[in-house]
Each structure stands twice: as C-alpha cells, then as structure tokens.
C-alpha cells in the first residue's frame, strides 16, 4: 500500500471510517401523483438524521416508476436503520401512522422480504429480534373495527378507512442486518469550495442503490466526538475539526483548511457502503480540497472499518 495517495492535488489520508452494525428495513411508499408522494416522503423521513437523538436514521433510497410498484402508482423506496428490530419496528409504526397514513392518497408496502434476504445471504446470522416488523398489523386499529384484511399469495394487506377512501398498508415488513455510519471528511480551503465538493459527491452517491445519506441534504457540518465536558451529553462537537477553534485545541486541520464537511453513509451491507464511499471521495477531490479523511474512534466502537487507501488499491 502506498504511503501517500492523491486524487489530483487532493491528499487521501491513510485512515479509516468506523461504522456500526444496525437493523434496517425498506418501505415502498406510493401516492396518486408526485406532489403527494413528495409530501409523504418529507414527513416520513423528517428528524431522521442520527440515532444519537432520533428514533431512526431514514431517507429515500431511490424513486420508483409506476410500472415497478405494487399498485402501479409513482413510488419511492425508503431505507430506515435502528439499533434493534424492536426499536425500528416502533419507529416505523409511529412514522407511518403519523406521517404517511395522514397524507392524501398514500399507501405503504414491504420492500424487504426476510426470506429473500436469507436466500441472498446464506451465511447470515439468525435475525432473531424479530424476523419481521409489524406495521399494518398495528395501524389497522385506527380503523376502529371497520378495517379489512386481504391476503394475496403469502402477503397480507390492511384496508383502513380514511376520509378520501382507504389507506392500504402491508401487514408486516422485513428486517435485516445492515451497516450504518460509514463516512468521509472533506477538508476544504473555504466553505464555498467545500460545499461544491460535497455536492459533487452527493450527485454521484445518490445514483447508487442500497444506501442512504441520512443527514440534511446528505451533508453534516456538525461532526461529533464521543462524550462531552457536560455529563448529560453523549456526544459533542468535533472540536479538532472546527476551524474557529484552531489555536485553542489540538487541531487536525492543515493551515489552509477553513471548512470541513462530513458525508455519512448507511447501507444494506459492507460492499454497498464501501462502493458509495469510494465514489464519493473520487467525486469530491479537486481544486481547493486539501485532504479527504474519515471519522473513527480508534476502532473500538464499530466493527466495520473502511480503510480509505484500500478502497482504491483494491480496484487496481
């Protein structure tokens, strides 16, 4: 492995991103037209950036054409990540009940069959907690006894009466093991240059399947470290990367760096996150981007390590 690696004039630091094992599920949301699909997605995915403070990390994976959805309408695939199946299940019932069932014309379907997941991952550990998450099974009670179920093949759906007709929702949704918290840091000469680099990375990463970027627009400006001087906080600002604190802390910023943005990636498996990380780094590198690095905790917290140099040397 080379001692130094550059893409153009951008130094790729010889470090690694540290990510965590989490449970994930995939929802397929549909609506009568793009306007109301967008409304449902915005509400469903709101306040879903980090499980440090949110009930789930959640974002749109990709848009789906009417010909590919269960009901022949415009749709989107949404990935959601949580610390456990139980916690994720509660979050999905709350989010779908409050944010999608309330949205005109919407419907929700399972986008992840646990049986298919096991077939694709024969060496996967037992999913144990639990193999599927209840969704319509819980939301049906809103129908106050007027709800009806329909079994199509081995899939059960609930028809819940609402004021514009019926809300169609799958009885349960699949759950599987994923990888969350993959990341890289863009160290730029100034804010404008850094943001342009982040946008280049986002444009390419968002073309890939099986991943989401859960933070606002896909970018994090408030990177964090574990712990704080305040004992009631689990995390606090990553002071070593804050340009305004240079001279007051042991800064990790080169002299010409005055802006840092972080891209956080959640994916269904290691390879999906690795591919997105490599594509993002390659796209972000450029004039005014002094260094691309990554956030880790010395390898002590997350079992998935994405060594930046290896992402590129393995392709050679």
Asked if pLDDT for residue 121 goes beyond 70, the answer is: no
- β-bridge partners, 149: 158
Assessment of whether the complete model's pTM goes beyond 0.75: yes
How many residues are given for the chain? 316
pLDDT per position as a tens digit, 206-265: 999 999 999 999 999 999 998 999 999 999 999 999 999 999 999 999 999 999 999 999
Distance from C-alpha of 59 to C-alpha of 35, rounded to nearest angstrom: 17
Give pLDDT tens digits for 23-60: 999 999 999 999 999 999 999 999 999 999 999 999 99
Structural domains of the chain ordered from first start: 5-18+179-313 (3.30.70.520), 22-176 (3.30.70.520)
Q: Per-residue DSSP letters for 251-265? A: ----TT--EEEEEEE
- Contact status, residue 56 vs residue 48, Cβ threshold 8 Å: yes
């Amino acid at each position: 492995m080379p001692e130094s690696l550059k893409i153009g004039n951008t130094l790729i630091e010889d470090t690694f991103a540290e990510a965590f094992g989490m449970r994930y599920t995939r929802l397929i949301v549909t609506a009568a037209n793009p306007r109301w699909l967008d409304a449902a997605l915005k509400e469903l995915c709101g306040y879903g950036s980090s499980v440090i403070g949110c009930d789930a990390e959640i974002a749109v994976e990709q848009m789906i054409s009417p010909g590919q959805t269960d009901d022949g309408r415009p749709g989107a695939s949404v990935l959601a990540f949580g610390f456990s199946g139980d916690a994720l299940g509660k979050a999905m019932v709350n989010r779908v009940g409050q944010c999608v069932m309330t949205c005109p014309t919407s419907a929700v379907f399972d986008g992840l069959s646990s049986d298919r997941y096991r077939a694709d991952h024969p060496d996967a550990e037992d999913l144990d907690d639990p193999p599927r998450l209840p969704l319509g099974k819980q939301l049906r009670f809103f129908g106050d006894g007027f709800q009806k179920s329909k079994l199509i093949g081995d899939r059960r759906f609930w028809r819940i009466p609402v004021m514009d007709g019926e809300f169609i929702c799958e009885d349960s949704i699949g759950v599987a093991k994923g990888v969350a918290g993959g990341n890289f840091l863009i160290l730029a000469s100034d804010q404008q240059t850094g943001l342009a680099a982040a946008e280049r990375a986002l444009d390419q990463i968002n073309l890939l399947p099986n991943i989401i970027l859960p933070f606002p627009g896909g970018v994090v400006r408030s990177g964090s470290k574990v712990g704080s001087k305040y004992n009631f906080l689990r995390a606090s600002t990553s002071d070593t990367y804050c340009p305004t604190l240079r001279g007051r802390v042991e800064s990790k910023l080169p002299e010409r760096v005055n802006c840092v943005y972080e891209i956080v990636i959640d994916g269904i498996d290691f390879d999906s996150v690795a591919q997105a990380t490599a594509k993002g780094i390659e796209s972000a590198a450029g004039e005014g981007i002094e260094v691309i690095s990554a956030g880790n905790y010395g390898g002590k917290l997350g079992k998935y390590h994405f060594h930046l140099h290896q992402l590129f040397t393995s392709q050679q």
